[in-house]
Structure 1
């Protein structure tokens, strides 16, 4: 009896594999159609085999779906990595263009670019007289800021390189009336000052930006109308 059951079991298993059942009910029906000589005691065996076939099919389906999902994720990751590389490349191109443009600008005005012990400075030519806002903008295009004179040493160094004209510097009290600060560094003007006597006076309530002027061989600071007055300017690039 054991040998007969084993043979029936193997026959049913082979038949289920050949038929490739989709679900248990279909499997049972198909197995019953193909096995009329089966004894009644083998029905339970047939049912279990059919369930095993159905489960295997479902597992294979899920495994196939997982493989497809993994492929999609890999593809998306590759696209994302390529996008990052493209962005980095574009950034490098932009940085190169900016540095090249800055280098050309500085080379173009090399005769006015001075290196002192306190930093590097650009002195605008006599023909370049603008208001304070425009001066600040031009300095930034050079990768610099309007000069912030924070020590006596720097004040004395700059005095050596200018003539008797007027020059914008970064001092301002915009947003903090009466309390001047260096817009180039953000620091308050308090540790060192070199104002002309009686200055700054905010004449007619319009003077909020500082400039330099040589007076009796001494360079003094004064305030003026940021937008209405036009003069030369000095840009500063800190030493690295």
Structure 2
């Protein structure tokens, strides 16, 4: 009996002891949960956030690295293109210089051709056609039939692009004299219509560089001799005579 009682008492004590332990364990679990909720979980959340940030940072670094690689490739590509462009520009400059040089050469050739053409044109202007003929180095027209007064002779020569002849030297006079008809008189351009005894060339308005009056000519015989002829009776030397006389004339081409 006593033994049974002792066993029951022991069993009750064990049960109460277990309940106390169970309650203590539950309290510890509650304290652990509260600790985790208040301390560990926030730390874990911060850690997770930091880990996410690290992951983002690594991702950004990876993107940045890719960007840098891409940028480097682009820079190398642009540098290569720049070199190609620079080379093309140098080639273009060289080509442009060559073209400009050719243009200058062609321009000089054109200028030379124009100069030749101008000279040829000038020479052409100095070589008249009929009725002029070359005597010596110049061109003359010697009228063979129509006789006019001195003023008419001046006009006739102007119409065909010349002036009444004015001799520059003895050689020119001798060359013309050999073409003249015997017994015929010819008008030349000397006159003293502006001022008596001061004979000038109607073509130049100046005193002649050459004259061959035979004394006593010019003498203004009768007070009306103001124009000059090549007088056949004096061997076609110069003589003053009235301007109204009608006779042949000699034109010199005006260039």
TM (norm. structure 2) is 0.47
Greater strand share, structure number: 1
TM-score (norm 1): 0.49
